[in-house]
Amino acid sequence: MSPNRRDVLRGLGLAALATPLAACATTGRSAAPTPTVTAAATSAANPLGVNAASPLEVVIFSGGNGDKYAVDLHEAAYSKTYPQSKLKHVGTQKVGTQLRPRFISGDVPDVVNNSGPEALDLQALVQEGQLADLTPLFEAPSLAFPDKKVIDTLVGGVYENSLIDGVPRVLQYTVGHRALWHNAKLFESKGWQLPRTWDEFNALGEEAKKAGIALFAYPGQVGPFYQVWNLVYTAAKIGGNKVIIDIDNLADGAWTAEPVRQAVAAWAQIQKDFGDKAYFGLDHTQTQVKHLQDKVLFYPCGSWLENEMAKEKPDTFEYAIAPVPSVTGTDAMPYEAIFVGVAEAFFVSAKGKNPQGGLEYLRIMLSKEGARGYTEQTRNLTVVNGVVDGLNLTSAVNSAAKAQEAAGKNIITDARFETWYKELFDYSQTQTNSVMAGRITADQFCENMQKKADELKNDSSISKQTRSV
């Protein structure tokens, strides 16, 4: 992964893979009304009321995943179900450039994969009534698990991230994971079990020390934000996602809250007892090579790690993911809770010619065949739980899928202050290095971070953001 791509993922927190353009999506004049087809009567076989003969147009961002998956899987399945429908496929790397004039004129496609550097401004589209309400989709019977509603088959966070002004408008289709990566083959050869509690984590640290292995490391240069994530997500496990929401909202005392202090103190202790200060001088690639050499047991990172290190990975190494161990006996979230960030936005045009067909297209994407096929083709997990069993996937993808399924709805939310307040996020990296190196205490870390957050909160020149979930 290049530094530019890394910076993009870091800045976006894997919550979305596209940044809206600063300009409004459809400035200049309102879109002309577009007549839609009459919906068909709903039934068990057609819960969304799709008119079988109505055409459907699908626009797919043809980026790193290409657009072949859409043609081969989702569009093929839609055409098989509705053979009378004329389906038009458009692949593009310039979503905004290609679609903005069409939204102005009123000639809009039915389904849009709104990703890439030229993604449309969703808030602007909502203000103009362009995005369909996805409630019927979420409430419809799942094609993957017919005894469940679609919403009940999805990883936690999907519905919350679909909301714009309180209404579900966007389907995020893929997931990325951040937790502790380790070598499953090493654990097997040593007969070690993954630690579920902090006491077990410390006990494993003693065993690893005897074997000449650092229990944990992160890159102090070009990568300290990995440990910032780790601290914040651990605090959320202790105190619940409200910890992160308060941090993002610049709430009074958010950084000095007890869950944050406990998380920082716990990780500083691990570094002091079982870490190696040499890693403070290494960048991410150097640290990850040490990890592949089994000189580091656990490494905090995202699920791109396997692809990033594919050329360096020896056959003796098998990437696997593990949740952060429970810090206290009263953590708000269970051991299984991990960060799962949803991404790859799709929406249905409210003023399209076939919004019912657009909703059905998304339902097909969330079917077992649609989700499994996508993962098989792109090596990316989708937001549908329990559909990849038996696929021949890489060790990292398989491990992440199992961890995601085990977590269920216990998903740690993304920390948005990293994009909302870059100055605060940059400061958190220097403070993280300081506390992990023992130059300041956990209490001092929390006080310093709170002081910086308060400075930004009281600075009227800085635009403030808020979130409720």
Going from the N-terminus, what domains does the chain have, and what CATH number goes with each? Answer: 3-131+133-168+341-405 (3.40.190.10), 178-337 (3.40.190.10)
Higher pLDDT, 26 or 338: 338
- Residue 413 has a pLDDT of 92
- Which residues pair with residue 42 across a beta bridge? none
Q: Which has the minimum average pLDDT: 8-17, 274-283, 394-403? A: 8-17
95 pLDDT exceeds 90?
yes
pLDDT in tens, 180-235: 999 999 999 999 999 999 999 999 999 999 999 999 999 999 879 999 999 999 99
Query: How far is CA 442 from its chain centroid?
Result: 28
Q: Which has the minimum average pLDDT: 76-80, 177-181, 389-393? A: 389-393
Paired sense of beta strands 87-92 and 163-164, if any: unpaired
Helix (H) or strand (E) segment spanning residue 57: strand 56-61
- Residue 200 has a pLDDT of 98
pLDDT category, 377, cuts 50, 70, 90?
confident
143 pLDDT exceeds 60?
yes
Q: What is the mean pLDDT of the chain?
A: 89
Structure tokens that stand for 50 in this block: 């799709």
- Residue 11 has a pLDDT of 32
Q: Using CA atoms, how far apart are residues 401 and 383, in angstroms rounded to an integer? A: 10
Torsion from C-alpha of 99, 103, 105, 107, nearest 10 degrees: 80
pLDDT in tens, 296-311: 999 999 888 887 888 8
Share of the chain above pLDDT 90, in %: 71
Paired sense of beta strands 111-113 and 56-61, if any: parallel
Q: Using CA atoms, how far apart are residues 62 and 295, in angstroms rounded to an integer? A: 39
31 pLDDT exceeds 60?
no
Closest of 48, 12, 47 to residue 348, by C-alpha: 48
Q: How far is CA 359 from CA 5, 343, 406, in A?
A: 32, 18, 29
Amino acid identity of residue 286, one-letter, is Q
- Contact yes or no for 48/145 (Cβ under 8 A): no
- Which residues pair with residue 348 across a beta bridge? 111
Q: Using CA atoms, how far apart are residues 331 and 120, in angstroms rounded to an integer? A: 40
pLDDT category, 29, cuts 50, 70, 90?
very low
Can you list the positions of beta strands (E) in 214-270?
A: 214-216
Helices and strands (DSSP H and E) totals, the chain: 20, 11
